[in-house]
Structure 1
């Protein structure tokens, strides 16, 4: 085959197909075969092919549609059952959530009451501790006051004894002094009487 006038393309080859129709094949596109004759049966052949394909497609679509339509009640039943199961599941979960919320509220109330009881018990314990501390402090003060009073009494008694001893000593000293004065006065009086007798 020689190059054609279009820059190196080979000329198309013609051959007869199996149905008696002359086909032309392009060397550039070997798979592209197209009829060159003007057979009047071409339109009817194409129509028959199209009708056959349409009928086969229609039958396939019909069978597919029948199968789909046949599965519609089953699908509808399954969807309804699934919907019911989902609703039951959601209802059960909602009831569980409500139950958990109620339990949580009850626990909160219980915890609140326990805290209130603990607070009251703490106040009572604190008041008891304060009262015991006051009683202990008062007892300590009383014991200290009693000890101080006892110490004062002992000190006063000690000073009283010392004063009494000093007083007794002073009395004795006074007695001795008076005795000496009396003795001297008696001696002087005796001398005076003796001198008077001499006169």
Structure 2
């Protein structure tokens, strides 16, 4: 084994080690623990409203706290589809692992983008023993700049933690497909 300090190949005799361990330490690739797979820094969904009128959507409410407390039923004309993974898989994963999100990017149907981006996204947290609480309001239109060429894309800071108790409540314009991309900084509570 190579001594990392001297660079010499030294043979370690376990009898000479303190308390005489039965397993000699290993250095290098054999001695390294298996690494957990890295978290994907990005995931996305699409919210599609096939109706002509605007509809309210509830996204990421994995524990359904917001939906149950507010008797919310998703309209039949509204659908949520996973972009990077199936939406149900993303919900199931969110039930076990929190996600720290720093940036959200929205891409919208060209004809309704200006109206859609003016609508706020409300972030609710649902805790046992209390009604859902509004913890933050995100304003997508804050991501626009005067130099922006594509008016149907907006990127804005979010600074939020998604857990199984977090619900994003937003209104989707009629005949609109809204793609929501979430840029993840870290996972919270991942067990190997």
Give the TM interval when normalised to the shorter protein.
under 0.3
TM-score normalised according to structure 2 size: 0.15
Normalising by structure 1, report the TM-score. 0.14
More strand by share: 2
Higher RCO structure (Cα 8 Å, ≥6 apart): 2
